[in-house]
Amino acid sequence: MKNSLSFKLSLTLLVVLAEGADLVPRFPQHGHGGMGDMSGMGASSAAPPACTGNNTPPVQAGPGWAEMLSAMGGISWLMDAAMPEATLAKVEDLKPKYRATAKRKVFRYGPFTLVGKGQSKPPLGFVSMDENGQGFFDLISNGICENDCTVIAGKTGLVFADGKEAGPTDGIQVHHILTTDLSKSINQALAYCAVPNPAPYKPFNGTRFAKVIGSGFVGQGEDNGEIVFTSPDGSYPAGFFIRAKDRFVLLGDFVNHGNVTKDVYVTLDLEYVDGHVGYDSASALLSVTSCKSEDVKMGAAGSGPAETMSNKFEVYVDGYIVTAKGHMHDGGDRMVLYVNEKEVCTSKPIYSPNGIGNETVLTGMTQCNNVFQVKKGDYLKMKSVYDLSKHPLPKAMSAHPGMGMSDAMGMFTMTLAENGEAPRRKSRAIQM
């Protein structure tokens, strides 16, 4: 039986680690504590340290939480001692989509109990970013490849026991589902913080900090979608490498807007090949607000477009960005990505009925499948555009009750292939 005090202390340490290491873009920073604008997963009132002019994360300036945890044997002991183990409820085989020779399985974990509106929440539940939500923070140490494998595409989801998707028409809202491979070091290809004038900086790949944090895997916000670790046609020889004994963190935040308590299950839909094939790659989030303690502009109802432009994210490697997709919340109109001020990708939201009157909610984002080149020393910028005239916020089921305008998000998920010909060679993570 896990000790409740140990559990709370361990989660507190993890939150402080995220904040103290200035992982704002990695654990997406709202104005309310926040996906890099999910700083500390919203559990601490202390603001994260500001990035320095040369993009150096504060954790490298001296002893910090990362070094302390590393000295104590890393983050793993906290997981084993305190984190609940996610229950593998079912595994389903499906037909692969990207490669005929690949395997595709859906791993179902749960159940996770969501209490009805107004009912008391479990005392040990993890912090939620929504005042009506419930957070879950579990360890996955079984399922996900019996042996070493290479994941070429992955998608998270939320379903009921009968397999039916749990969504807005059922009164269920997904704020986010995130997974991280704790056994895998991060691999930095872009600056963590966007600044007006990027300066030369040595990434901290291979450091103790990189080994403690783990590598971001698959996840979603309200705009669920697939993360592809290869080229859009599946032919590029790359994917996310997983070892047989790798352990993962599953972080979920859900809202039950109904009056009846419901059980839901998190799914991981993974297409993979056995062994480590080609080059290791990964995908992660890049936030328009980066390390700045400010909100994404949403504007007021009827006021028209409201834009937020990022500063410059320096590129540390030569390569090609093979996939890119925006992430927004209700009211979002588009995310735009630039390389050296040139527009290369516009990702637009998809709105669907929420089953309440004529209201619609954001349920997806379009993906840019054009491959575009980046070189060491280049920089990326992005712009978020919200327009409440075109996309009014739902009244009967607000996207994030109580959070107000501060809950707007503007991010990109992308995968970068390093070097070669459009692309030919190694793929590398953009770890934010």
Whether the ω angle into residue 123 lies within 30 degrees of 0, i.e. cis, is no
Do the Cβ atoms of 234 and 152 come closer than 8 Å? yes
CA distance linking residue 254 with residue 268, whole number of Å: 16
pLDDT, averaged in runs of 10, over the chain (432 residues):
40 40 33 29 28 37 38 48 85 95 96 90 76 88 86 94 91 88 78 73 54 75 74 80 90 91 96 89 77 83 89 84 86 95 94 78 85 87 94 65 57 74 42 38
Q: Which residues pair with 252 in a beta bridge?
A: 136, 177
pLDDT of 166 reads: 93
CA distance linking residue 230 with residue 407, whole number of Å: 31
CA distance linking residue 246 with residue 268, whole number of Å: 15
pTM of the entire predicted model: 0.68
